[in-house]
Amino acid sequence: MRKLDGQVAVITGSGRGIGKATAMLFAREGASVMVNDIDPAPCEEAANEINKAFPGKAACCVADITKGEGAQKLMDAAVEKFGKMDILINNAGITRDAMIHKMTDAQWDVCVNISLKGAFNCIRAASKYMRHPNHNGRIVNVSSVAGLMGNVGQINYSSAKAGLIGMTKTVAREWAAFGIRCNVVAYGVVDTRLTREKETGDVVEGEQVGIPKKIRELMIGAMGGKTLTPEEAAKPILFFASDDSNFITGNLLNISGGAYM
């Protein structure tokens, strides 16, 4: 018996990294998945890859979830394509690191707008389809240990990720009456473009992402010398999205290999 048979999931920022691995895992578990990204090419490629493995299980909706209308377009597209909406994964996020005294307004805004406001936009947009009696919906927000213990150079990111924890608990309380559960996962270092060595890393919208080599070594050292793969990171999201976590709501799962405890 698959864990998500007959379910419909929307996963933001699922053209790459953790979101993409989650979309593939959800399809393997029987869900229909609306893949979303702001970047059209990875969004379409991820949906194509899933459809190759699990025919008809994925579609792609290019939308910017920092905009209210982008978030609504995404939820509407999922329901139009698959007929309903059961699961929302607020995964889209980005890093824009700088020390406090050097951080620009633009770096603050982009980080907070994607991780925190984007999640709010999506939850509000999903209310049209989820906020109904006995809906039995599930929402999973993707946070970071930076939101739990802070991180040098990440005042924007750690603030946004900490905010997601409060958001999770509010949704859990406000929508419990509709049978909707809302939980949050907080990762240590997962191997994606956001955490590769900054010196040789990807440039995203004009800014180098990644972690400086020396700091990266320290962070991975605190996780017993290992990073998580996106496929490993997808499993706790599946746990919160499936019946395996029935009756668990407003909870945080820290997945950091002991970096935070």
Ligand X SMILES: NC(=O)c1ccc[n+]([C@@H]2O[C@H](COP(=O)([O-])OP(=O)(O)OC[C@H]3O[C@@H](n4cnc5c(N)ncnc54)[C@H](O)[C@@H]3O)[C@@H](O)[C@H]2O)c1
Binding residues for ligand X, rule: CB under 6 A, are 12-13, 15-19, 36-39, 42, 64-66, 91-94, 114-115, 118, 142, 144, 187, 189-190, 192-195
- Contacts from 242-250 at CB under 8 Å and sequence distance 24+? 242/3, 242/4, 242/29, 242/138, 243/3, 244/3, 245/181, 245/183, 246/181, 248/181, 248/183, 249/172, 249/176, 249/181, 249/182, 249/183, 250/168, 250/169, 250/172, 250/173, 250/182, 250/183
157 is catalytic: yes
Smallest gap from Cβ 111 to ligand X, in A, equals: 9
Per the listing, tokens 């994925």 go with: 58
Q: How far is it, in rounded angstroms, from Cα 172 to Cα 174?
A: 6
Smallest gap from Cβ 57 to ligand X, in A, equals: 19
Smallest gap from Cβ 252 to ligand X, in A, equals: 13
- Looking at the Cβ atoms of 68 and 179, the one nearer to ligand X is 68
Nearest to 25 by CA among 41, 44, 42, 11: 11
Question: Phi/psi at 2 (nearest 5 deg)?
Answer: -80, 155
Q: Which residues touch 136 (CB under 8 Å, ≥6 apart)?
A: 86, 179, 180
Considering 129, 157, 187, 260, which one is annotated as catalytic? Answer: 157
Smallest gap from Cβ 4 to ligand X, in A, equals: 20
Smallest gap from Cβ 175 to ligand X, in A, equals: 21
Provide DSSP, 138-166. EEEEEEETHHHH--TTBHHHHHHHHHHHH
Smallest gap from Cβ 179 to ligand X, in A, equals: 26
CB 163 within 8 A of CB 142: no
CB 154 within 8 A of CB 97: yes
CB 14 within 8 A of CB 35: yes
- Looking at the Cβ atoms of 72 and 91, the one nearer to ligand X is 91
- Looking at the Cβ atoms of 6 and 40, the one nearer to ligand X is 40
Structure tokens belonging to residue 215: 């700091």
Q: Which sequence positions are flagged as catalytic?
A: 157
